[in-house]
Amino acid sequence: MTNGIQHLRDKAVIGTFIHAPTPERLEFLADTLVTIDASGIISAVVPPDDPRRGALEARHADTMLRLPEGCYVLPGMVDLHVHAPQYPQLGLALDAPLEVWLHKYTFPLEARYADLDFAAESYGMLVDDLLANGTTTALYFATQYREASKLLADVCIEKGQRALVGKVAMDDPSACPENYRDASPEAAVADTRAVIEHIRQHRDNGEGRVLPVITPRFIPSCTDETLKGLGALAAECGCHVQTHCSESDWAHGHVLDRYGMTDAAALDGFGLLTRKTVLAHSNFLTPDDMDRLATRGSGVAHCALSNIYFANSVFPLRAAMARGVRVGLGTDISGGPSASMFNACLTTVQSSRMLEEGVDPARPAGERGRPESAVSLVTAFHLATAGGGDALELPIGQFAPGYHFDAIAVDTTQRQGGIRLFDLTDPAAIFEKILYGATRANLSSVWVDGRLVAGNQTA
């Protein structure tokens, strides 16, 4: 047995595991043995009173990782919406509405990724930081550039992050800058295809930990031909799809004006709503849109913090979940100025409560908000882990046989960290303290597929 940091493939770990397999249920698995197979998949989750326990402990005695007192293991966070190239802008450029922000700040920044040295440095920093923050899976928008998009996938493969990477398609000359757009619909589709092939054939990606994504930026930046071509490509290659959907009054109104229908209906018409589609934001979904997403099995990346700055509204999360829409959480770096999914959980709770209560004190309390909108911290944590996994149709985000061992060890005793448990022993209280207080210093080990990818090496 050892308390040292190690890879956990073909090994076992004993500790206290906390996960939320459903939106309502937090499970606190004390003194539990988890065994991990040679490819990083969980083979057994064994409580202390399980009849198999003695034999399994004996079999793994030489290589068992026994986590110390005060350490709790959570599923790794699943960030369903990250603009990788926007990381240098995190915390900046939050003073303009979406349609201004894109042209004034964001397209010029993304255009810098024509320089692959800049791209390598920026992407390396982002992936290191997200792993250290406990984000074991990220669904990335890269840039319009084919080569820099391949490079983002290479960086994720090298650093061991589970990632889905999409070359951004944006070709409409009336909506995209001349120096930062696809030359034609054919070029947009061909470059998307080239990045898919690069990722699928990458010699160090045999386990498929990095996956390709068809990524029309959003309807306003694409021609009909490109949207049609990408829908056909999605049917042909069966890979994931992502785009922005009905994010703000302006973006939603643009699509209504252009097609006389909502984003969700238009995307469906182009063949872009599949079981493996994730739509960012989606604040202005109608009830019919929600039913359409539920029928297709498509998911929403709820980006609560970004929505405060750019979406003119709070996403009606509970209404969408009640209609059967799959939902996960996203940071939307850099529209959302935080690279932490712990923070995304908190903002999800906070904004849902503002939607429920309302915000204008001049209005009577009974007319101020939208009833039945608030979600609990357990629900937010579920969405940030198992919910994100479900939206991606990947076995991640909970501790169960067949799921990938993507996990974070949270050391609540770390003096440099932000958690103070005092004498708490109640599992629900410990969970809340962790979600509200955890800082990077508390994340002592981060594993993807049982491989150690980040941590302060002290657990």
Contacts to ligand GUN by CB under 6 A: 83, 98, 102, 106, 217-218, 244, 247, 306, 310, 332, 335
Nearer to ligand GUN among residue 226 and residue 398 (C-beta) = 226
Q: Which of 171, 268, 289, 332 binds Fe ion (CB under 5 A)?
A: 332
271: which residues sit within 8 A by CB, 6+ positions away? 228, 231, 232, 234, 235
Q: How far is the CB of 329 from ligand GUN (least distance, A)?
A: 14
Nearer to ligand GUN among residue 331 and residue 398 (C-beta) = 331
How many other β-carbons are positioned within 10 Å of the β-carbon of residue 99?
Answer: 15
310 binds, among ligand GUN, Fe ion, none (CB under 5 to 8 A by kind): ligand GUN
Q: Looking only at residues 241 through 280 of this chain, which bind Fe ion when binding is defined by CB under 5 A?
A: 280
Contact call for residues 325 and 277 (beta carbons, < 8 A): no
Q: How far is the CB of 272 from ligand GUN (least distance, A)?
A: 15
HSE toward the beta carbon, residue 255, CA cutoff 13 A: 25
Give the separation between CA 175 and CA 219, rounded to whole angstroms: 10
Give the separation between CA 324 and CA 176, rounded to whole angstroms: 35
Instruction: State yes or no: residue 406 binds Fe ion (CB under 5 A).
Output: no
Nearer to ligand GUN among residue 144 and residue 306 (C-beta) = 306
Q: How far is the CB of 287 from Fe ion (least distance, A)?
A: 24
Token pair recorded at residue 108: 């010029």
Give the separation between CA 403 and CA 405, rounded to whole angstroms: 6
Q: Looking only at residues 276 through 315 of this chain, which bind Fe ion when binding is defined by CB under 5 A?
A: 280
247 binds, among Fe ion, ligand GUN, none (CB under 5 to 8 A by kind): ligand GUN
Helix axes 427-437 and 341-357, enclosed angle (nearest 10)? 100
Nearer to Fe ion among residue 73 and residue 163 (C-beta) = 163
- Whether residue 334 has a cis bond before it, omega within 30° of 0: yes
DSSP assignment letter at 362: T
106 binds, among Fe ion, ligand GUN, none (CB under 5 to 8 A by kind): ligand GUN
Give the separation between CA 262 and CA 248, rounded to whole angstroms: 12
Q: Which stretch binds Fe ion (CB under 5 A): 43-51, 62-70, 327-335, 345-353?
A: 327-335
Instruction: State yes or no: residue 79 binds Fe ion (CB under 5 A).
Output: no
Q: How far is the CB of 303 from Fe ion (least distance, A)?
A: 7
Quote the strand ranges of 162-267, DSSP E. Answer: 162-166, 168-169, 210-216, 240-245
Q: How far is the CB of 159 from ligand GUN (least distance, A)?
A: 23
Number of residues that bind Fe ion (CB under 5 A): 2
Nearer to ligand GUN among residue 11 and residue 302 (C-beta) = 302
CA distances in angstroms from 405 to 151, 207, 397, listed in the order given? 26, 14, 9
49: which residues sit within 8 A by CB, 6+ positions away? none
Q: Which residue has the tokens 């120096």?
A: 179
Nearer to ligand GUN among residue 92 and residue 428 (C-beta) = 92
Q: What is the dihedral of CA 96, 171, 169, 301, to 10 degrees?
A: 40
Specify the 3-state DSSP secondary structure of 203.
Answer: coil
Nearer to Fe ion among residue 99 and residue 357 (C-beta) = 99
Q: How far is the CB of 218 from ligand GUN (least distance, A)?
A: 4
Nearer to Fe ion among residue 309 and residue 431 (C-beta) = 309
Q: Which stretch binds Fe ion (CB under 5 A): 188-196, 328-336, 365-373, 396-404?
A: 328-336
- Chain positions contacting Fe ion, by CB under 5 A: 280, 332
